[in-house]
Amino acid sequence: MLKLSHVKKTFNRGTVTEKRALTGVDLTLADGDFVTVIGGNGAGKSTLLNMIAGVYPLDSGTVELDGEDISRLSEPKRAKYLGRVFQDPMRGTAADMQIEENLALAKRRGQRRTLRWGITRAEREEYAELLKKLDLGLETRMQAKVGLLSGGQRQALTLLMATLTNPRVLLLDEHTAALDPKTAAKVLELTEQIVGERKLTTLMVTHNMNDAIRLGNRLIMMHEGRVIYDVAGDEKRALTVPDLLQKFEEVSGGELANDRMLLS
């Protein structure tokens, strides 16, 4: 269970560029919850994920994971519990390293790294099996540098890496936004499959309202650093895009939709 209480974060406090990114977020995810997160630009979606991952220190509030307060743990220390996929396909993998090397690095997430060999033969077989499931032909190119892969292939690989060791929480930060529609659909399908199979507790930020409604069992909407709408179960399944737009106007008194969201 992931529990955020009164989480606040302001960037560049006391300067002209001061940005109140999170103004008090309370959010509890039950085990196996697949939550989609929507909201306009600057609503605090990515900051929320970064706070959970420990990229920046909290201003106030707590982040608890299965009852343990992880608010003060550094980013590498928290990594043990978290799988992350970023928007930019370049960010999730090491381009100059081989596919299997990348997987081996991910396999050791949160573990103490030793002077043992960085990849074992048994691992190679395991990775070949997993890559075969992606159906991208990567299992035959395991020694290829990741930099040679397309954005979609890299993102699929990153997703595999993020879930290789069953993280307690999977954080997806618009992980399909930089892909073309066809590839995005494929990566999303893969996401659904992996999260569904392993019942991973997941937070997925997306700009696509249809995806947000279709995927997961719960949806939250953010605005100005707060959660303004939280819906789950049957109520969520019955949602439509116009519902979401209307809901947003009700709560915030403004327009949610920018062109990008309506078109996507």
Partner 1 sequence: MSGALLGAVSQGILWGIMVLGVFITYKLLDIADLTVDGSFALGGSVCAVLVVAGVDPLIAIVAAMLAGMLAGAVTGFLHTVFEIPAILAGILTQIALWSVNLRIMGKSNTPLLQHDTIFSRMTEATGLSINAGSIIVGLIVAVLIIALLYWFFGTEIGSALRATGNNEDMIRALGVSTAKTKMIALMLSNALVGLSGGLICQSQKYADIGMGTGAIVIGLAAIVIGEVLGRLTPGKLTGFKSRLVSAVAGSVVYFLIRAIVLQMGMDANDMKLLSAIIVALALCVPVVWERFKLRASYSKGGEADA
Binding site for partner 1 (CB under 8 A): 53, 74-77, 79-80, 82, 84, 86, 90-97, 101, 104-106, 108-111, 113-119, 161
Q: How far is the CB of 54 from partner 1 (least distance, A)?
A: 10
Nearest residue to 259 via CA among 222, 209, 219: 209
Nearer of residues 142 and 185 to partner 1, judged by Cβ: 142
Q: How many CB atoms lie within 10 A of CB 131?
A: 22
Q: How far is the CB of 45 from partner 1 (least distance, A)?
A: 18
Q: How far is the CB of 73 from partner 1 (least distance, A)?
A: 11
Q: How far is the CB of 110 from partner 1 (least distance, A)?
A: 4
List, in order, residues 6 or more apart from 98 with CB less than 8 Å away: 142, 143, 144, 145, 146
Q: How far is the CB of 11 from partner 1 (least distance, A)?
A: 17
Nearer of residues 77 and 199 to partner 1, judged by Cβ: 77
Q: Which region, left, alpha or beta, applies to residue 73 given φ > 0 means left and ψ of -120 to 50 means alpha?
A: beta
Helix (H, G, I), strand (E, B) or coil at 47: helix
Nearest residue to 153 via CA among 71, 104, 95, 230: 95
Nearer of residues 63 and 104 to partner 1, judged by Cβ: 104
Nearer of residues 45 and 84 to partner 1, judged by Cβ: 84
Q: Which residue has the tokens 């996401």?
A: 191
Nearest residue to 214 via CA among 247, 239, 196: 239
Nearer of residues 94 and 262 to partner 1, judged by Cβ: 94
Q: How far is the CB of 165 from partner 1 (least distance, A)?
A: 10
Q: How far is the CB of 75 from partner 1 (least distance, A)?
A: 5
Q: At how many degrees (to 10) do helices 121-134 and 99-107 cross? A: 110
Tokens of 109: 């997430």
Nearer of residues 79 and 136 to partner 1, judged by Cβ: 79
Per DSSP, the residues of 147-216 read GGS-HHHHHHHHHHHHHTT--SEEEEESTTTTS-HHHHHHHHHHHHHHHHHHT--EEEE-S-HHHHHHSS
Nearer of residues 107 and 218 to partner 1, judged by Cβ: 107
